[in-house]
Amino acid sequence: MTTTAPLPGERGPLSAAVLDVLRGREAPGVSVAGADPLGEDLQLALYLAYEPHYRALDGVADEREWDPALLGLRRPMEEAFLGALREAVPGGGADDTDVEEAIDPLLVEPVDGQGVSHRLMAEGTWERMREYLVHRSLYQLKESDPQAWLIPRLEGQAKASLVAVAYDEFGAGRGERVHARLFADLMEGAGLDSSYGRYLDLAPAATLATVNVMSLFGLHRSLRGAAAGNFAVLEITSPPGARRMAKALERLGAEERCLRFFTEHVEADAVHEQVMRRDVLGDLLAREPGLAADVVFGVRATVWLDDLWGERVLAAWDRGESSLRDGRPAPAPAEEWAGRD
């Protein structure tokens, strides 16, 4: 039986309007004008507008997926979000077409890495680890679903190679090896609830934006180049980050089921990185060279949003606070965790 994801509380007029439409009510007139494109209200509203494409929502009829009222609310929010990204992302304009220049920095590990995974590897506690898992659960419990929309938009070798990468992401034919399932195992091993959407209320705007950008790129054929760039970043940056997270969990004495998600990514994504660069992006751009600027934008937007997320998480930790929404504490672990932190 398919479980439904719970609906969160509203964060402003836009998310309130989307929640009304999802529940089958008539939404009051709202305007995106003046709303922060990267703020709590718009990012939650956009996330909720995308969710019917992924999973069933508690109390929401399946027909809402294509409700004209929902799509009417979504479009101006997408335009505001996309416009904010184009303005904020360095480069990524129509003249920025050097894909290798955009990707090459991602292939080099910084000597003095200061990211979230570095911090967790060096000094992370179980409380901070659970915060991290809550943040990442918004995407990892549907890992590669947004990128699957890219498959029908590719041809030839690019399509074949993307499907080969996706085959691994979806467990290579084994349900228990689907990466989203492995992440659920990790959450359960860390004492968290692995139910889809369980922690949406705790996710701040910066977290939602890293997921919304995947849905935005994936759902629009006109942004297929950006979607390919986004997926390439995920595969290129995954192995070193996964290696650090595995070490962080080992230091905390985590169960083997907690390590499996990250060790799988160290092994698989090292190959995927080469496939994405040479066979997916290479063939796509050979067929459609005019998409180079879009690919670069997808790369830069993905990196920029993840950097923004990381900066906000670390800033909260440096203040001795939770990085979750409104500084809420990490979820308490399950009872069997008593005394293990």
Give the model confidence (pLDDT) of 24-71 as tens digits. 998 888 999 999 999 999 999 999 999 999 999 999 999 999 999 999
Is the Cα dihedral 51, 162, 242, 181 positive or negative? positive
The predicted structure's pLDDT at residue 285? 97
What does CATH list as the number for 99-337? 1.20.910.10
Query: Which residues of the chain are under the pLDDT cut of 70?
Result: 1-2, 111-112, 268-270, 335-341
Per-domain residue ranges of the chain: 13-88, 99-337
CB 314 within 8 A of CB 116: yes
The predicted structure's pLDDT at residue 1? 43
Helix (H) or strand (E) holding 88: helix 68-88
The predicted structure's pLDDT at residue 111? 60
CA–CA distances in Å: residue 305 to residues 85, 86, 99, 218, 302: 9, 12, 18, 16, 5
- Dihedral of the CA atoms 197, 203, 206, 211 (nearest 10)? -10
Straight-line distance from the first to the last Cα atom of the chain, in angstroms, rounded to the nearest whole number? 34
- Mean pLDDT in the chain? 93
